[in-house]
Chain A
Amino acid sequence: AQTVTQSQPEMSVQEAETVTLSCTYDTSESNYYLFWYKQPPSGQMILVIRQEAYKQQNATENRFSVNFQKAAKSFSLKISDSQLGDTAMYFCAFMRESGNTPLVFGKGTRLSVIA
Chain B
Amino acid sequence: GAGVSQSPSNKVTEKGKDVELRCDPISGHTALYWYRQSLGQGLEFLIYFQGNSAPDKSGLPSDRFSAERTGGSVSTLTIQRTQQEDSAVYLCASSLARGGEKLFFGSGTQLSVL
Residues on A facing B (Cβ under 8 Å): 33, 35, 42-47, 50, 52, 91, 95-108
Contacts and interface: CB of A to CB of B under 8 A. Distances in A.
B89 interface: yes
B97 interface: yes
Given A45-B91, A47-B103, A95-B99, A101 B108 contact: no
Contacts of B89: 43
A42 B48 CA distance: 25
Interface residues of B, number: 25
Contacts, number: 60
Interface string B22-58: 0000000001010100000111010010100000100
Contacts of B31: 100
B102 A102 contact: no
Contacts of B95: 100
B57 to A, nearest CB: 11
Contacts of A35: 102
20 contacts: A35-B102, A43-B108, A44-B105, A50-B100, A52-B100, A95-B99, A97-B100, A100-B31, A100-B48, A100-B97, A101-B56, A102-B56, A103-B93, A103-B103, A104-B45, A105-B42, A105-B43, A106-B42, A108-B41, A108-B42
B42 A45 contact: no
A107 B41 contact: yes
Contact of B107 (A44, A99, A101, A107): A44
Interface centre among B42, B45, B97, B105 (most CB of A within 10 A): B42
